[in-house]
Amino acid sequence: MLIGRDAERRVIEQLVAGARVGAAGVLLVTGEPGIGKTALLNETAAVAHGLRILRARGTEAEREVPFAALLQLLRPALGGLDRIPGPQRSALASALALGPDAARPADRFAVGAATLSLICRYAESAPLALLIDDAHLLDRPSAEALLFAARRLVADPIVLLIAARLGEPHPFEADLPRLHLQGIGLDAARQVVQHLPGDLIEQLHQTVAGNPLALLELADDPDRLQRIPPGVPFPVPTMLAEAFASRANRLSAAARTALLVAALDDCELAAVSRGCAELGVDVAALEEAEAAGLVAIRDGEVQWRHPLVRSAIYASADPAERRTAHRAVAVATPDPDRRAWHLSETVLGADDEVAAGLDVAAEHAAARGAHAVAATAYERAGRLSQRPPDRAIRLVAAGEAAWSAGLAEWAETLLGDALTLRPPSPVRIRAQEVRGDIEVKCGSPRRARDILVAAAAESTDPAVAIVLLADAVGACFRLCDATAGLEVAYRLDSLLPAVDRPGPRIIGLLASGVAKVLAGSGGTDQIRAAIALAPSDELDRDRRRQVWMVLAALFLRETGTGRTLLQHAMLERREQVALGTLPGLLFVLARDDATTDRWADAEASYDEGIRLSRETGQTTELAMNLAGLAWLMSHQGRVECQELAEECLRICAAQEIHLGTVWSLFALGDLELGRGDPAAALPQYERLVDVLAEYELKDPDLSPAPELVEVYLRLGRVEDAQRAVLKHSALAEAKGQPWSLARAARARGVVGDSESDFVLALGWHEETLDAFELARTRLAYGAWLRRVRRRVDARTQLRLAVEGFDALGALRWADQAAAELRATGETARRRVPSTADELTPQERQIAVLLVDGNSIREAAARLFLSPKTVEYHLRKVYAKLGIHSRTELTEHLGRP
């Protein structure tokens, strides 16, 4: 029975009750050692009548064992492994070293998605309680998989409780609901240590701030309490550790040795016995420790009274004793990876043989998707290497593994340490390539550009240099450095004739074409040539650079060109649960949809891209998705645009992501222009023009000139409008693409007196899919026709403009078109807003996937959700739309 925890018990009972009715509950329980976290988890198991229980506990001995805690937790549920999606099943089997799939490399996000799928399958038979104790001691890959699942539990009959020590780093600190345990009150303390005199209980309670374990420990040692000055706060963890160490020091030498061996290993009694035998000690000596209340021997395991006991035993041993014990355990263990870890603790100085063993352990961990463990093993192997080149190679491998684990700062440190050793050129180039990728996604595109260009200059392999320079163009794109990008394009052109492999050729052509488009120097022919070479299996396997293929649709803005590649890439990345590349792909997909009539789909993709960018720590992709969504919402006249743009601008200012700045300023200007306030729009557009000029960006698609023309004319600045038209038209003609040519023709029509420009613009629009720009041209054309007193002709264009804007949800623009139509003597028939417009982005995603023929489980797998969560959102979709079937859903969404 819990004493003094009535409020906390009610919280737990509510979570358990919610799980019984299908409402998931997640709670992180924190507090200092001994405060009662484990007791609260035990109480949860006691009150969870009718729930299945899965438990796991982190330990020091298994912090570097890949997925040790996840296997401990999921073992009873593994019978359902065949019932989850194939790629997820393979990833989890690989992570847990199960069956034939164990040899396949695992992606850390795929393991998280598989964990979610498996526990949700397991909960279909009965509600489920997942209890994770000492989460600060979990191996990091297990913790990341559980955090992935915890963030996505919504409508499942599952309660997840995670207990972690306060002040210890762990991934669960991120964003989970939290219950912080304080000490128990004085009345409860009297019940816990009722055998002590009342005044002593009050002193004890005050000294340990109501910590239950400390109350019990000091109650058994009043002399220690008497030595503490009254009223002086004492650090409880230190006090408890000293108390446990003092108790251990009263044991025999054999018992202390047996305890030390147990503290090093996985606590299986047989393993502890083998280690003790190597040291000539009988494992039966542990009976002394059991009698002293330090451990308990149950079910063939050594169970510690508290994790602090284990820590105290290890910390109080002499360094030489620890090394001797590690060596004995290493000899006794049959697992070569664990042997390598233990041997690494015995080395003073360098040892190439031990380093080689750690190398192998790191390779095994990386193959299972445990990249953080692999990074630690590679780093330790590097530090133990005698020769600087070997040390550098292993530190680079450690940095690469740390980056794969999403630990950018650690990866940078490891790579920097490797580079100080002056490694061989291929090793140095690899280190710089990874550093460049980190900077592009999480740091400064400027630094990325410089790193990658320098690495390419050092490479003697043209294919390697091409992919490095392509990444440099990607950095220039985000940096908006058209000049440097053009220089890189010319270097790519000089290297391409020497390369026959399709992968590097496609990347090189695309990157060169993109850089030239940004600089206003052609490039579209190279992009088309690259698309003609696709698909390439070699390029498809390179997830990091696959985004180059899908960028083609953005830079050409033509009907059909490259769009099938984009859809294929998205489907493949979802099926493979490649979340690390999804934020960038989602941005491109959303940007593509935002330039058609699929605005709701675009918003859903941007929304998911933002969520996944935050989750994966990719600040650059976060900024890009924020900017894209801000621009989309500006066309809809939604106030959220400003908040999104402001967040984007903060990130972009800190990291020099000037492309995000460009799009955010465009969004803010468009928002004000759509509101009918040209004076408020002007400073945003003019600031944007200054940014484009500063970085010599000459891509007409980034220019707000057509919008500025309208602003200038409304403000009476005719000459400024005329100058803007001339400059923009020259850039659009040089590019020669229909989207930019249509906008340029519209701008000329707005300024001039010739109807032919509007007709030409409409012709160019037929070769693009941008419904918003088409409606903008019809509005401008209709307004011009009305001004020259051709009211009947004007009505045709204005009616179509109203319909186009209404269909998109660009209501402010529809209002402007309707006002122009009223000025011709006709009242617009406005579209009645559909209830489908009220769907959230995630509801929209789910609805579209189901309408497109996916089952509930398939939709769940593709969105990395549980089937119950998909069903939960689908019920909300049906309720909002007032429908009851997928057939009706198809009709409401207007999809084939």
Q: What is the pLDDT of residues 590-611, one digit of tens each?
A: 888 888 888 988 898 899 899 9
Residue 133: inside a domain, yes or no? yes
Question: Chain-centre distance of CA 109, in angstroms?
Answer: 9
Q: What is the pLDDT of residue 584?
A: 82
Residue 695: inside a domain, yes or no? no
Examine the fold and report which residue of 134, 153, 180 is the final residue of a domain before the chain moves on: 180
- Tens-place pLDDT, residues 23-40: 999 999 999 999 999 999
Q: What is the pLDDT of residue 226?
A: 63
Question: Chain-centre distance of CA 226, in angstroms?
Answer: 52
For residues 130 and 223, membership in a common domain is answered with no
Q: Which amino acid is at 110?
A: A
Examine the fold and report which residue of 334, 363, 389 is the final residue of a domain before the chain moves on: 334
CA distance 70 to 328: 28
Which residues form the domain of 62?
Answer: 6-180
Q: Between 108-122 and 140-150, two packed helices, what is the crossing angle to 10 degrees?
A: 60
Burial class (CB within 10 angstroms; exposed 0-12, middle 13-18, buried 19+) of 810:
buried
Average pLDDT, the chain: 88
Residue 773: inside a domain, yes or no? no
Name which residue leads in pLDDT, 82 or 173.
82
Q: What is the pLDDT of residue 387?
A: 95
Instruction: Write a three-state SS string for 701-754.
Output: HHCCHHHHHHHHHHCCCHHHHHHHHHHHHHHHHHHCCHHHHHHHHHHHHHHCCC
Residue 279: inside a domain, yes or no? yes
Q: Which amino acid is at 200?
A: L
For residues 149 and 212, membership in a common domain is answered with no
For residues 875 and 854, membership in a common domain is answered with yes
Residue 243: inside a domain, yes or no? yes
Which residue in this structure is represented by tokens 């992919």?
Answer: 467
- Tens-place pLDDT, residues 413-472: 999 999 999 999 999 999 999 999 999 988 899 999 999 999 999 999 999 999 999 999
Torsion of CA 809, 810, 816, 820, to 10 degrees: -60
For residues 47 and 90, membership in a common domain is answered with yes
Average pLDDT over every residue of 318-330: 94
CA atoms within a 13 Å half-sphere pointing along the CA-CB vector of 15: 31
> Rounded to two decimals, what is the model's pTM?
0.84
- Tens-place pLDDT, residues 812-825: 999 999 999 999 98
Residue 668: inside a domain, yes or no? no
CATH number of the domain bearing residue 885: 1.10.10.10
Q: How many domains does the chain have?
A: 4
Residue 480: inside a domain, yes or no? no
For residues 216 and 167, membership in a common domain is answered with no
3-state secondary structure of 297: strand
CA atoms within a 13 Å half-sphere pointing along the CA-CB vector of 670: 29
For residues 156 and 297, membership in a common domain is answered with no
CB-based contact 495:465 (threshold 8 Å):
yes
Q: What is the pLDDT of residue 178?
A: 94
Q: What is the pLDDT of residue 540?
A: 53
Examine the fold and report which residue of 277, 310, 334 is the final residue of a domain before the chain moves on: 334
758-767: long-range contacts (C-beta < 8 A, 24 or more apart)? 758/784, 764/738, 764/739, 765/738, 767/558, 767/559, 767/738
Look up residue 681 and give its DSSP letter.
H
CA distance 765 to 775: 10
| 198 pLDDT higher than 80 | no
Of residues 346, 408, 340, 420, the one with CA closest to residue 372 = 408
For residues 84 and 131, membership in a common domain is answered with yes
Give me 432's structure tokens: 């710089």
For residues 74 and 98, membership in a common domain is answered with yes
For residues 273 and 139, membership in a common domain is answered with no
For residues 106 and 139, membership in a common domain is answered with yes
Residue 256: inside a domain, yes or no? yes
Count of other CB atoms within 10 angstroms of residue 450: 17
For residues 64 and 166, membership in a common domain is answered with yes
Of residues 322, 242, 252, the one with CA closest to residue 288 = 252
CATH number of the domain bearing residue 47: 3.40.50.300
For residues 41 and 171, membership in a common domain is answered with yes
- Expressed in percent and rounded to 5, the helix, strand and coil fractions of the chain are 70, 5, 25
* 573 pLDDT tier (thresholds 50, 70, 90): low
Average pLDDT over every residue of 870-878: 90
* 177 pLDDT tier (thresholds 50, 70, 90): very high
* 852 pLDDT tier (thresholds 50, 70, 90): confident
Of residues 145, 107, 141, the one with CA closest to residue 367 = 107
Give me 570's structure tokens: 């998205």
